[in-house]
Chain A
Amino acid sequence: MSALDRLPSGRGDRALLAGVACLLVGGLFALTPLQADLPSALYVFVEVGITFVIYGMLVLGLDLQYGHTGLVNFGHVVFFAVGAYATAMLAAQDSFSGIALGYPWPLALLVGVIAAALLGVVVSATSIRLRDDFLAIVTLATAEIFHSIFVNFEGTFGGNVGILGVPRPIAALVGDADTRLIATLLVLGGFTLITLAVVTRLTDAPYGRVLRAIRADELVTRSVGKSTITYKTQAFVYGAALAGFAGGLFALYNGAVAPGFFTIQVTVTVWIGMLLGGAANHRAVLAGLAIIMGLRLVSRFGLSVTPVSGDVFAAFRLLVVGLILVAVIRYRPAGIWGDPQELGVDQ
């Protein structure tokens, strides 16, 4: 029996293996004097790649909520933001604005996840019974409320400046910029792959079948004795906690949080990524997100070769992004790799 035969065959297990491998290699870069050499042309790819793996956790959580359970959460960024702010406020040292408590960062990350999950509990306890489109509006309004709270309570959240001086565990271990970028990408990418493994395991289990049944027909699911509200609340809270985890990691990677990182743009990006790839298929939503983030790369390169201002280019990119969302819903409602039959849409 060769070593290959002993490798796990399930998709989730393979993702777990790949994730652990990424973490180990990333840890190797971070903990040993091993150095990576990155050509400067690739910097932008690695930076967008880091954003991609962080947003990847967001899209996996959102897919659990919308793709599997049918919960239309259009304020996903608020859980990301709450996780990031909670982590930053607990872990930051000597920020000149807002609260900085200076606790160890693992504790802060844990609190970030719990804070986002608690907000998820509150939102779902109050709104999970609303009709789909009204749930979308409530979550969107929640995100807007938190955004204006972060901007306006300068004493607590640092206003538009945000909170600085958040510890950066990987940057603290690695001095060299190239190695730091590679190690960050590997460690965060490892977490995303492990997340992929966990959600795949969850949705392959009978539990995931109940979630998809709720999406297909809630009344029928209830009539066979499943407490649909409990399942919906759980799916919502899992997604929120995952977004909080992504937010905490973002704060620890970025070293600062500010309201500008947590606009409705984040929600729109992950939604388009999910719909483009095909909801209810974990790898498809990640691929869809990669396409949208790739567009961001294209526009970065385009900006350097065309003689227009950055503002014009940003407007043009958003114009295209909006039209992609419209076109996907109209012409490929199941996304590129989605299953139209399972999603109940006609192609």
Chain B
Amino acid sequence: MGLLQEAIFGVVTGSYIAIAAIGFTLIYGIVNMINFAYGEYLTLGAFVGFFAANALPGPLPVAVVAAMLGGGVISIALARGFFTPINHTGPVPMLLTSIGLGIAVRNAIRLFGGRSARYIDTETATFRFDAVPEVPIGSVDLLGGFFLTSEHLTVVGSAVAVFLVVHLLLTRTDVGIAMRAMGDDESLARVRGIDTQLIRDSVWVLAGVLAGLAGVLMAIQTNVSSTTGYSHILQILSAAILGGAGSPYGAIIGAYVIGLALAISTAFLPSSMTGLSSAVAFAILIAVLLVKPSGIAGTEVREA
């Protein structure tokens, strides 16, 4: 397989990581916590989408909308139940709570859903481009024939739509502007009359909707199981930190860097070591924290 094909896979992976990473980084910036249970929101969204696709007669977009709604409801419910009551305790207890909650939710899903993978049936059109010349360098082919599926286009299209909507939300609406104000300085925002708890709740809903969408897109691409979201949480986290924690635009760039790095490392690693490609994402994360801990967008994460 040519490098061009791997790059396409990388862009697709980057797209759904980007959707999730925006939600993750908004929670980080505004609620001021690393939400390690975020992967489970993706899994729950994927399950909602799966059941909606089976139960509802409508086309696939109905299932996607159901997953987004489900994700939003789940996110605000979990936040109200677990995170809002300990909001004052600071980042470390919140991180530890989210780790505990993640374990609990993941195993609750395993308890009720079993370990087997489920598949969402979709009709896929494949577009082949075989006429592209091969440009081999060593064992790796730089161009080569490639293919695109309608699923790939759906994922990338959804991601672009999300970027536009989030951008408009953050720059053109009152609630979005209030979110950015809170991300900058919560006390000042409160002084200016912003209802900080309301904004925090809306961030939870928005992050849940994005998680639901990312989860159902992952489900369409691969499958639904209890570890669908968890297996991506470290990539989402890497993307968010790489982009500069708290910055949605940075997270988008970070997600595509991570997606492409994963895909291209698959091309260069020997086939027996493809499992290492996930380590590549963490190696990037650590390298970023060493060289430029503030990330692409420049938020300081060092003490003093």
**Which positions in A face B, CB cutoff 8 Å?**
72, 74, 126-127, 129-134, 136-138, 140-142, 144-145, 148-149, 151-154, 218-219, 268, 271-272, 275, 311-312, 315-316, 318-319, 321-326, 329-330, 333, 345
On chain B, the residues within 8 Å of A321 by CB distance are 100, 103-104
B 104-133 to A, binary, CB cutoff 8 A, 1 in contact else 0: 111110110001000000000000000000
B107 touches A319 (CB 8 A): yes
- Tell me whether B262 is interfacial, beta carbon within 8 Å: no
B32 to A, closest residue via Cβ: A133
Q: Chain A: which residue is nearest B28 at the CB level?
A: A133
CB contacts (< 8 Å) of B289 on chain A: these are 126-127, 130, 134, 138
Q: Could you write out 10 A-B pairs with CB less than 8 Å apart?
A: A131-B302, A132-B92, A133-B91, A133-B95, A137-B241, A137-B285, A141-B234, A318-B107, A325-B100, A326-B82
Partner of B303, one of A131, A148, A326: A131
Nearest residue in B to A66 (C-beta to C-beta)? B92
Task: Check A133–B293 contact: CB distance below 8 A.
Answer: no
Whether B139 is near chain A, meaning CB under 8 Å from some CB there, is no
A347 to B223, CA, bound (A): 44
| CB-defined contacts of B110 to chain A, threshold 8 Å | 311, 315
- Contact of A129 (CB < 8 Å), options: B34, B234, B276, B303: B303
Question: Dominant SS at the B interface?
Answer: helix
Contacts of A129 in B (CB 8 A): 302-303
B275 within 8 Å of A by Cβ?
yes
Query: In the complex, how many angstroms separate the beta carbon of A338 from the nearest chain B beta carbon?
Result: 13
Q: How many Å from the CB of A118 to the closest CB on chain B? A: 17
Kindly list chain B residues whose C-beta atoms are within 8 Å of the C-beta of A145.
Answer: 279, 282-283, 286
Which residue of A has the minimal Cβ distance to B98? A326
With contacts A133-B95, A134-B301, A144-B278 known, is A333 near B89, CB below 8 A? yes
Please give me the residue from chain A that is nearest to B85 by CB atom.
Answer: A330
Q: Which 8 A-B residue pairings sit nearest by Cβ, starting from the closest?
A: A325-B100, A322-B104, A322-B103, A141-B282, A318-B107, A326-B100, A319-B107, A315-B110
- Give, as a whole number of angstroms, the nearest-CB distance from A289 to chain B: 16
A133 to B240: give the CA distance in the assembly, Å: 14
Please name all residues of chain A whose beta carbon is closer than 8 Å to the beta carbon of B303 when the two chains form the complex: 129-131, 218
List the B residue with the shortest CB-CB distance to A125.
B290
Is A137 a contact partner of B304 (Cβ separation < 8 A)? Answer: no
Most chain B CB within 10 A, of A126, A154, A326, is at A326
Considering the complex, which residues of chain B in the window 286-304 have a beta carbon less than 8 Å from any beta carbon of chain A? 286, 289-290, 293, 301-304
